[in-house]
């Protein structure tokens, strides 16, 4: 069960806002972690979000702008829509592909990673081995009256919160309304009657809510019974919670006996190709594979826009490293001075949320971060996030608590970005030890390991088995090979025990699947087990995996919030939205604005547009009849960083004004200089301040217009 | 049924190799076409394929090279694999993302298309409307003895071909072995007994095979019965064919009553967003949307490697155009002189395969291609294919036969690429008229149309309906609104007929879903229908759709075959494979080769590698102990176009040799010049011949080595 394992961070008190505002792990990090309930909660009322310019943040206004400008839109809306499915419109799609391009350059190209593209369709056996078939589930209950399906923890939470609200109403305490989707709100309001509760009951409810993520299905069922929690819609108690697997199931091929699933993460395809990738890498370690692709999770109740969806883009890296030698990283020195904001597990254990800022070099040397390779990726993740325009003051790395992680995991940190929904996990970075390769190797017999030639051979002492092949074959006949393989596979500790059996009983019994009744007896005439030394030239090991895992949709949403602000309009209209994306990620780089629909502008606009495209800069022309100001503010909402006005001066002398979205300042220069400036800004090699120093400012308000119009 | 509709190209005689070597439509083109059986066949023995350099083409050798170099690999291979699912390894993945990047620049950026990213998960209702739920199927039968599932047409074909082979064996005619996957071959060989057939029977079998794609399920069942066709594995007749829908089904959300499918194409998401996209485009027509994403088809028997798979990447464009005014295209003039190789439907009707070469301007003006917009896209598709390195002599556009297309389709052409599997449809380009938008608008009531303001209002005469609202409401009570809506929706021809009814009977009957028994009577006291004139200021129309649809996996495979050749090794070893990809699509652009493991090379190699990456050029370093020649030929197989040797001269004077993969010629120059040359080659702005003119040739065989080694 995702919700099965308990973990401390949600057991801390509700006053500690941390657990209540952390969206968990779409990005799988550890074995337990992969199967936990996502911790999505509304932000606590105390938390105020501000825009890039420190203005109060108004989410409904931003949401409406994003839909109006088609950053994203509910899928199949004309058919009524499907919860948790969104389409990206042109600006969202361009933003996404720019972020992916930067990701690919920053990680795959820079680090020489081996990118693979694996299928989303996955046969059941693979996900059975990985644990998803048995454990990737949430608890759900059904309303026996109307058949409504409820996510058990969400349901308990909603009813108790409604009762607490009713209590506060009865006590005359003003409650700040939380934002919820309209449907939910309706239900809640309907159910919120002002009923005063006993003080002890209030305390009990608050305690339950604080640890809501710790209850398993049975415990949630008990809560529903004990507190007589009823569905406000029907007035009846829902059925006891049952496990609901979150993978989409289908059948691969024409016969229905080949069940398959849509992958819930992109990691498994990479693990399965490990041996081929190692071969491709000419057997050299360490190395990393990477993958960008869609994953699918059948959430019971998707919410919060792009943050909890049923189909989403992930970018995952699996870095394979030798577990011996402290997991050093050859390029650690390059990033050791990068400062990171860390929320370590000790601070969380103490119920605090204090962020410590330190260099990653120090964090590794003082043991806060487990090893260099993990530290290296934390720094590289942060560099990537800052490069695309995430706000450093709204970024932190939160370490997983010891009991959030599986027993085999060495360490795990989430890059969390602060939004109006709280701190959201956008990148997970876990040291998964040798777990994944080991389970798949064990299941399939594939050699998912590294064989390394030792510089100096070593001598080891071990329990060796010698079979008397002459007698062994004839004795077991057709089963000979099978029994021999089972004998060879016996681990050292088992061999030691069997050596004693052989001495005592003159025979041993071992289990061999598919031979006789599954147990085979071998007498000392056929087998000898003894302690012997041997010289070893190679070393075999299963690499450990460091897994940075990016939820692209969440990153995009946080990026949008971090770069959003509003510009007061001098004319007195309502404030206008601006998205101050860095030029390299902006969906469109340049807006071309002819001053009017005058014929003389057209060839110039077309030429500029062609030239910009030929140097790889995306442009948009707005030759509508709207005022220049209106056309620019329309594109401020799209995050277009630069604007070129084509005016009569351009016709006359070939000069253009270039406008900066954020400052609205303009410079004027000839075509060549303007194109050069745009290219440098779009690539990110210069910023606007550089350009302002190089090119003359333009303050004029198109004074030449009347003169030229007359002449024309 | 995909296999339901008959079409002429497969009814032509078998001597005409065309239909037998054309893989059909993963890329949906027309309504019928969307649901046809893919026409995958082995190439006729007469056809010889050659490599880029005209050498005999050996597919198994190429296949083995592609797997060894991990261009692609069967998914889940360590679990035994799943038919029709492939993963792309690093070079395949890089090739794919380079091709996609060029596609995006060539179409989306250049043409200002609105790219969207829609979900693969699709609710059933959408695909019911589009026709896929009812018609996207193949015929399959089951072997009653072993439960094996067979694709009916493939089965009939295999058994008849085996009998014909047996006949030829009996007559002593040598038959060339066709390449099949090993399993199939085994079966076939086992079944091929030398049995002579009657001449009439041979003729009958040949005729059946020639028209195999024309049989529906019933007809295929009859063939199996009449000719007593038995599964060679079990010796029994399979069950009668049943329809098998090729979409992967799943359930969206926790309740099982929300069936959904994985999309079989990316088009539907674009159609559903039409109204929003039009709004985003500020109501301006024409415009195009575009989408790149995975589609899924549950093939009964996937084969031919990347050519028929169950999960594949598509890139689709939906260009919306006003159906009036001849579907002109504003930029047609830019491409009118592009020469295309056309196989039109008249030539095919005559049983010929003659390709006519002409300019697209002529093809449109003489009516071969229906309209300018369709012609424009054919030229742009060809430009794209040539840009990525497809062989022009192995490219043609084949027009669909009249009865391959649905009644509403105006014209349809497939860009076919010649490979060792025959001519493969890699891009479909269809004029789908207003079909898609119309069916979705009709189903949902969404306004999927364009409202255009007329410059001069026009007066039209039409049948108008007037309701006596005062009486109408009270008469129909709660059903008033529903009946009124049904009346308003009556089309002109219906209104004319009803006007007569009203005059004759004093009342009319109309059908209204959900009111009474579905038929409502309205008397003349409540309604009047008359011919009246009205002035119209706007024109409403449903745009037509021109749909270029790219199967990326097929294009990649054809691209690989077109660029493959072998280089004889002077040393006498076996021939070595080369993939002569144009530098812009090559997975890696530059191989860095230090002459030896000498310490002095390392900092230089690292610096070059860093510099190349910083200018966006992907590099790979091979510092293994293999000979330089071996290291280069390893990378010839990966299609790496350029190589830099770092030798002692580099250490001494900072100069480098740059090697061209195809000619193996080298030039030598200083770092700056070498970097500039690489950038120009990688971008495609220059070719090797240009560089050879600019930089001095290098012929030396590292004569300096011994001298420098001593000094060092």
Q: Which residues of B touch A117 (CB under 8 A)?
A: 87-88, 92-93, 96
Is the pLDDT at B591 greater than 80? The verdict is: yes
Quote the tokens at residue A655: 């000069």
Q: Is B511 an interface residue toward A (CB < 8 Å)?
A: no
> In chain A, which residue's Cα lies nearest the Cα of B278?
A70
Residue B499, helix vs strand vs coil: helix
A70, A187, A236, A338 from A195: Cα distances, Å: 44, 17, 19, 54
pLDDT per position as a tens digit, B258-287 = 899 999 999 999 999 999 999 999 999 999
Q: Is B444 an interface residue toward A (CB < 8 Å)?
A: yes
Is the pLDDT at A24 greater than 50? The verdict is: no
> Distance (Å) from the C-alpha of residue B298 to the closest C-alpha of chain A?
6
> In chain B, which residue's Cα lies nearest the Cα of A635?
B280
- Cross-strand partners of A307: none
B47, B55, B355, B394, B576 from B50: Cα distances, Å: 10, 5, 19, 11, 16
Q: Per-residue pLDDT averaged across A216-245, rounded?
A: 91
Q: Per-residue pLDDT averaged across A679-705, rounded?
A: 83
Describe chain A by its helix, strand, coil percentages, rounded to 5.
40, 25, 35
Angle between helices A59-68 and A552-562 (to 10 degrees): 110
- Provide the pLDDT confidence category of residue A176 given band limits of 50, 70 and 90: low
Identify the helix (H) or strand (E) that includes residue A65. Answer: helix A59-68
Kindly report which listed range (B47-51, B114-118, B154-158, B243-247) carries the lowest average pLDDT score: B47-51
Q: Which residues of A touch B310 (CB under 8 A)?
A: 119, 121, 252
Q: Per-residue pLDDT averaged across A254-272, rounded?
A: 91
- Cross-strand partners of B341: B357
Chain B residues 72-101 with CB within 8 Å of chain A: 73, 75-79, 82-83, 85-90, 92-94, 96-97
Q: Is A48 an interface residue toward B (CB < 8 Å)?
A: no
Q: Which residues of B touch A275 (CB under 8 A)?
A: 78
CATH number of B18-34+48-119+260-437: 3.30.930.10
> Distance (Å) from the C-alpha of residue B349 to the closest C-alpha of chain A?
35
Residue A295 has what DSSP assignment? E
- Cross-strand partners of B644: B592, B658
The answer to whether the CB atoms of A118 and B70 lie below 8 A apart is: no
Q: Which residues of A touch B85 (CB under 8 A)?
A: 119, 121, 252
Q: Give the 3-state secondary structure of A134-177.
A: HHCEEEEEECCCCCCEEEHHHHHHHHHHHHHHHHHHHHCCCCCC
Nearest to A89 among B73, B258, B276 (CB): B276
The answer to whether the CB atoms of A311 and B121 lie below 8 A apart is: yes
> Structurally, what CATH architecture does the domain formed by A453-539 represent?
2-Layer Sandwich (3.30)
> In chain A, which residue's Cα lies nearest the Cα of B271?
A76
> In chain A, which residue's Cα lies nearest the Cα of B66?
A280
Quote the tokens at residue B321: 């155009």
Is the pLDDT at B20 greater than 50? The verdict is: no
Is the pLDDT at A677 greater than 90? The verdict is: yes
Contact A39, A12 (CB under 8 A): no
Q: Which residues of A touch B139 (CB under 8 A)?
A: none
Chain A residues 278-307 with CB within 8 Å of chain B: 279-280, 282, 294, 296, 298, 300
> Distance (Å) from the C-alpha of residue B475 to the closest C-alpha of chain A?
32
Residue A542 has what DSSP assignment? P
- Best of A78, A248, A436 to disrupt the B interface by mutation (most B CBs within 10 Å)? A78
pLDDT per position as a tens digit, A410-444 = 899 999 999 999 999 999 999 999 999 999 999 99
Contacts of residue B88, defined as CB under 8 A and 6 or more positions apart, other chains included, come to: A116, A117, A118, B71, B72, B96
Is the pLDDT at B57 greater than 70? The verdict is: yes
pLDDT at A578: 96
Chain B residues 365-424 with CB within 8 Å of chain A: none
B122 phi and psi angles, rounded to 5 deg = -140, 130
Chain A to chain B, count of Cβ pairs less than 8 Å apart? 204
Query: What DSSP string describes A44-61?
Result: PTT---B-TTSPBP-HHH
Q: Residue A290 CB: number of other CB atoms within 10 A?
A: 23
B5, B18, B355, B411, B415 from B22: Cα distances, Å: 17, 6, 15, 19, 11
Rama region for B309: left / alpha / beta (φ>0; ψ in -120 to 50; rest)? beta
Omega before B286 cis (within 30°)? yes
CA dist A321 and B447 (Å) reads 57
pLDDT at A402: 78
Angle between helices B152-171 and B182-191 (to 10 degrees): 50
The answer to whether the CB atoms of A121 and B310 lie below 8 A apart is: yes
- Cross-strand partners of A50: A56
pLDDT at A706: 35
The answer to whether the CB atoms of A78 and B440 lie below 8 A apart is: yes
Tokens 């290219």 found at:
A679
pLDDT per position as a tens digit, B135-183 = 888 899 988 988 888 889 889 988 999 999 888 888 887 655 444 444 4
A7 phi and psi angles, rounded to 5 deg = -150, 150
Which pairing describes strands A544-551 and A311-321: parallel, antiparallel, or unpaired? Answer: antiparallel
CA dist A107 and A676 (Å) reads 28
Q: Give the 3-state secondary structure of A578-630.
A: EECCCCCCCCCCEEEEECCCCCCHHHHHHHHHHHHHHCCCCEEECCCCCCHHH
Quote the tokens at residue B335: 């491409």
- Per domain, the residue ranges of chain B are 18-34+48-119+260-437, 137-245, 454-537, 588-711
What's chain A's length in residues? 712
Omega before A286 cis (within 30°)? yes
B529-B532-B538 Cα angle (round to 5): 115
- Round the CA-based radius of gyration of chain B to a whole number and report it: 31
Share of chain B above pLDDT 90, in %: 57
Contacts of residue A672, defined as CB under 8 A and 6 or more positions apart, other chains included, come to: none
pLDDT per position as a tens digit, A534-580 = 888 999 999 999 999 999 999 999 999 999 999 875 555 567 899 99
Is the pLDDT at A376 greater than 60? The verdict is: yes
> Distance (Å) from the C-alpha of residue A120 to the closest C-alpha of chain B?
8
> In chain B, which residue's Cα lies nearest the Cα of A266?
B87
CATH number of B588-711: 3.40.50.800
Contacts of residue B322, defined as CB under 8 A and 6 or more positions apart, other chains included, come to: B285, B286, B450, B541, B543, B544
Q: Per-residue pLDDT averaged across A495-504, rounded?
A: 90
Closest CA to A556 of A533, A579, A535: A579
pLDDT at B570: 54
Q: Which fold has domain A575-711?
A: Rossmann fold (3.40.50)
Is the pLDDT at A16 greater than 60? The verdict is: no
The answer to whether the CB atoms of B120 and A276 lie below 8 A apart is: no
pLDDT per position as a tens digit, B599-626 = 899 999 999 999 998 888 999 999 888 8
CA dist B113 and B118 (Å) reads 15
Nearest to A117 among B69, B88, B444 (CB): B88
Contacts of residue A524, defined as CB under 8 A and 6 or more positions apart, other chains included, come to: A502, A506, A507
> In chain B, which residue's Cα lies nearest the Cα of A109?
B618
pLDDT at B571: 53
Q: How many CA atoms lie within 13 A of B79 on its CB side?
A: 23
CATH class for the domain made up of A137-245: alpha beta
Q: Which fold has domain A9-130+265-437?
A: BirA Bifunctional Protein; domain 2 (3.30.930)
CATH class for the domain made up of B454-537: alpha beta
pLDDT at B32: 37
- ipTM for the whole complex: 0.84
CA dist B578 and B568 (Å) reads 11
pLDDT at A603: 93
Chain A residues 245-284 with CB within 8 Å of chain B: 248-255, 258, 260, 262, 269, 272-273, 275-277, 279-280, 282
pLDDT per position as a tens digit, A582-638 = 999 999 999 999 998 888 999 999 999 999 988 889 999 998 888 888 899 899 999
């Amino acid at each position: 069960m995702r919700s099965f394992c308990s973990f401390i961070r949600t057991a801390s008190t509700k006053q500690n806002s941390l657990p209540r505002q952390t969206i968990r792990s779409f990005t799988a990090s550890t074995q337990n972690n992969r199967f936990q309930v996502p911790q999505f909660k509304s932000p606590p009322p105390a938390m105020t979000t501000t825009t890039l310019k420190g203005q109060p943040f108004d989410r409904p206004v931003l949401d409406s702008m994003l839909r109006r400008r088609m950053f994203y839109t509910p899928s199949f809306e004309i058919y009524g829509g499907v919860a948790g499915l969104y389409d990206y419109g042109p600006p969202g799609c361009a933003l996404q592909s720019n972020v992916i391009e930067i990701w690919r350059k920053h990680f795959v190209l820079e680090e020489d990673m081996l990118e693979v593209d694996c299928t989303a369709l996955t046969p059941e056996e693979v996900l059975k081995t990985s644990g998803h078939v048995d454990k990737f589930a949430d608890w759900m209950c059904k309303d026996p009256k109307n058949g409504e399906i409820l996510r058990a923890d969400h349901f308990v939470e909603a009813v108790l919160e409604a009762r607490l609200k009713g209590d506060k109403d009865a006590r005359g305490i003003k409650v700040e309304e939380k934002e919820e989707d309209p449907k939910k709100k309706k239900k809640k309001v309907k159910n919120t009657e002002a009923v005063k509760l006993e003080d002890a009951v209030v305390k009990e409810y608050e305690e339950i809510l604080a640890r809501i993520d710790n209850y398993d299905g049975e415990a949630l069922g008990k809560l529903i019974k004990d507190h007589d929690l009823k569905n406000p819609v029907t007035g009846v108690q829902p059925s006891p919670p049952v496990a609901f697997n979150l993978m989409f199931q289908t059948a691969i091929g024409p016969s229905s006996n080949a069940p398959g699933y849509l992958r819930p993460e992109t990691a498994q395809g990479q693990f399965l190709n490990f041996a081929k990738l190692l071969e491709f890498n000419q057997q050299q370690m360490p190395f990393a594979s990477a993958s960008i692709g869609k994953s699918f999770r059948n959430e019971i109740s998707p919410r919060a826009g792009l943050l909890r969806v049923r189909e989403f883009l992930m970018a995952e890296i699996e870095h394979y490293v030798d577990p011996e030698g402290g997991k050093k990283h050859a390029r650690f020195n390059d990033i050791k001075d990068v400062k990171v904001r860390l929320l370590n597990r000790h601070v969380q254990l103490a119920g605090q949320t204090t962020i410590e800022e330190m260099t990653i070099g120090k964090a590794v040397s003082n043991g806060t971060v487990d090893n260099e390779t993990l530290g290296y990726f934390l720094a590289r993740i942060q560099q990537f996030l800052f490069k695309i325009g995430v706000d450093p003051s709204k970024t932190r790395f939160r370490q997983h608590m010891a009991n959030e992680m599986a027993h085999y995991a060495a360490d795990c940190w989430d890059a969390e970005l602060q939004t109006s929904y709280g701190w959201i996990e956008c990148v997970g970075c876990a040291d998964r030890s040798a777990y994944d390769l080991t389970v798949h190797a064990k299941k399939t017999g594939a050699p998912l390991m590294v064989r390394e030639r030792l510089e100096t051979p070593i001598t080891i002492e071990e329990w060796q088995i010698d079979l008397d092949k002459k007698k062994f074959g004839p004795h077991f006949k057709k089963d000979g090979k099978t029994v021999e393989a089972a004998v060879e596979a016996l681990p050292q500790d088992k061999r030691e025990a069997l050596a004693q059996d052989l001495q005592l009983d003159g025979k041993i019994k071992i289990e061999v699947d598919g031979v006789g009744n599954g147990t085979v007896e071998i007498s000392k005439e056929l087998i000898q087990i003894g302690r012997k030394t041997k010289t070893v030239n190679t070393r075999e090991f299963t690499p450990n995996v460091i897994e940075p895992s990016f939820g692209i949709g969440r990153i995009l949403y946080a990026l949008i919030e971090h770069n959003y602000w509003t510009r007061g309009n001098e004319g007195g209209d309502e404030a206008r939205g601006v998205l101050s994306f860095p030029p390299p990620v902006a969906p469109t780089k340049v807006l071309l604005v002819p001053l009017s629909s005058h014929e003389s502008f057209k060839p110039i606009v077309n030429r500029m547009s062609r030239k910009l495209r030929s140097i790889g800069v995306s442009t948009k022309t707005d030759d509508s009849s709207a005022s220049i100001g209106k056309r620019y503010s329309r594109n401020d909402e799209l995050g277009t960083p630069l604007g070129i006005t084509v005016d009569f001066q351009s016709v006359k002398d070939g000069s253009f004004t270039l406008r900066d979205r954020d400052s609205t300042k303009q410079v004027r220069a000839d075509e060549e200089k303007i194109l050069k400036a745009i290219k440098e800004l779009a690539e990110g090699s210069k910023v606007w301040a550089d350009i302002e120093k190089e090119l003359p400012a333009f303050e004029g308000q198109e004074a030449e217009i009347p003169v030229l119009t007359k002449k024309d």
